[in-house]
Amino acid sequence: MCVMETELNINGQNQRLDLAPGVTLLEALRDYAGLTGTKYGCGEGQCGACTVLIDGRAARSCVIRAADATGRKIVTIEGLASGHGLHAVQQAFLDHAAFQCGFCTPGMILGAVALLDQDPSPTASGIREGLQAHICRCGAYPRIVDAVRAAASKNKGSRRG
């Protein structure tokens, strides 16, 4: 099978992967880079489970060819925490038990990070609207909204400090 060396910047590291043509970014992350935190839900850009950040914006990795992500900064759930601990959104999801099975959680968290980047103080309805394209089959939406609000107010507090 023909493969193509493709360099991707994932979680701050350049990685060279030998990928078959047409491999999606989701497949590259999970099957070639071993980063299985990014989930395969629908494979059609409809559920949000595969969301990663590309250059700081939420993107559905199942509908993006890996080759099209070269030269861009990709962040997966594995790369979100810094050396100082969990990202504020990750911590808020834990504090608010904002999941049941956890399948939607990595994509939901990265979607929330991108949302807070665009709007640091969203209302509850703004959060629901911002994350409406993320499906949680367990129906944990109320706790997810609580968690994102908590992360927003923590960020606000830390900016004041």
Residues lying near ligand FES in the complex (CB under 6 A) are found at 40-43, 45-50, 60, 62, 99-105, 136-138, 140
* Closest to ligand FES by CB, 80 or 131: 131
Q: Which residue has the tokens 């023909």?
A: 2
* Closest to ligand FES by CB, 147 or 152: 147
CA torsion sign, 78 to 155 to 57 to 12?
negative
User: In the beta sheet, which residues pair with residue 19?
Assistant: 4
* Closest to ligand FES by CB, 22 or 120: 22
Q: Minimum distance between the CB of residue 147 and ligand FES, rounded to whole angstroms?
A: 12
* Closest to ligand FES by CB, 89 or 103: 103
Q: Minimum distance between the CB of residue 86 and ligand FES, rounded to whole angstroms?
A: 18
Q: Minimum distance between the CB of residue 111 and ligand FES, rounded to whole angstroms?
A: 11
Q: Which of 22, 20, 30, 32 is nearest to 50 (CA)?
A: 30
Give Cβ neighbours of residue 46 (< 8 Å, ≥ 6 apart). Answer: 133, 135
Q: Which of 96, 84, 152 is nearest to 122 (CA)?
A: 152
Residue 44 DSSP one-character state: S
Q: Minimum distance between the CB of residue 122 and ligand FES, rounded to whole angstroms?
A: 20
* Closest to ligand FES by CB, 45 or 126: 45
Which amino acid appears at position 131 of this protein? L
Q: Minimum distance between the CB of residue 16 and ligand FES, rounded to whole angstroms?
A: 24
CA torsion sign, 136 to 141 to 59 to 150?
negative
Residue 15 DSSP one-character state: E
